[in-house]
Amino acid sequence: MIGQHPDAFGLPELNLFNVERLKDFWRPVSHEIGGDSNRRHGVLRTVAEIYAGEQTPETINMALHWVAVREDRKTEEVFKEIVSRIDPLIPVEKSPAYTISMKRLTRIFETFPDARFLHLVRHPIPQSKSIAKLNDGIFAFFFNAFEFENNRLIVDPQIIWHDININILNFLDIVPKDQQMRMRGEELMEHPQKQLAIVCRWLGIRDDDNAIEEMMHPERSPFACFGPINALFGNDPNFLRGSAFRQHKPKIPPLDEPLPWREDGKGLRMEVLGLAQDFGYK
């Protein structure tokens, strides 16, 4: 939505800061989050769009040649080249895989010391339910998000919610306060115009009705649908299947309710409960 602002350019998930050099994208890294070939699609689709003006099998092949020429370059150099190509538009990036590593987050800040960081949070229970569905729960194992109880292995995605948010908070400790903002996703869903205007003022860009109206249409992004057969993804498949924004008031469960993914009736861990309360949930 932010990327649809007239002064911005909404990038797909580039994942560039996941690796040191561009050629590392083509090395097997199945032991890492974002380690499959789909993580390359965002870069390929971006290059096709900004250099050729369209995303087709042919322009994706062109993007592969573009990448090959730059395979030994550091990924921060490649990111800067993409940013210079879309200048004066503001690049907006949201690769989720960055949040699992302080190293990745720090590389962003070192490369773009003037960058703004929007920490979008969500209630731990519905967020954890979504995490549990990712790849049939395999995502949780990358984080050791499980516990042993009575000789049983219990996958508990609230551990991921906690650890990723702690990573973000630890990283934001090194970022100047005026370059960071936290927003609850539920408030954005219920009052999008108001919340988007707040983001605009924080970024120092126009917040008039026309600009906000453009932001209300993420489906207009060239990356808001599936790409050509040789670069299908670049964003969450669920988003690609239905990218139009639907304003609504999300159901926010109480923090003390039993967790729906556990059979033992247990609730949130104390460290998760405390962090959720710090974020303003009750």
Give the pLDDT confidence of 141-190 residue by residue, as tens digits. 677 777 777 777 778 899 999 999 999 999 999 999 999 999 999 999 99
CATH topology of domain 2-278: Rossmann fold (3.40.50)
Can you give the pTM of this predicted structure?
0.92
Q: Is the pLDDT of residue 32 over 80?
A: no
Instruction: Return the domain boundaries, the chain.
Output: 2-278
Question: How far is Cα 148 from Cα 80, in angstroms, rounded to an integer?
Answer: 45
Confidence of residue 37 (pLDDT cuts 50, 70, 90): low
Q: Nearest-CA neighbor of 76 among 56, 106, 119?
A: 106
Cα angle 125, 224, 87 (rounded to 5 degrees) comes to 110
- What backbone phi and psi angles, to 5 degrees, belong to 185? -60, -35
224-280 residue pLDDT tens:
999 999 999 999 998 999 999 999 999 999 999 999 888 888 999 999 999 999 999
What is the C-alpha R_g of the chain?
19
For the chain, the average pLDDT equals: 92
78-90 residue pLDDT tens:
999 999 999 999 9
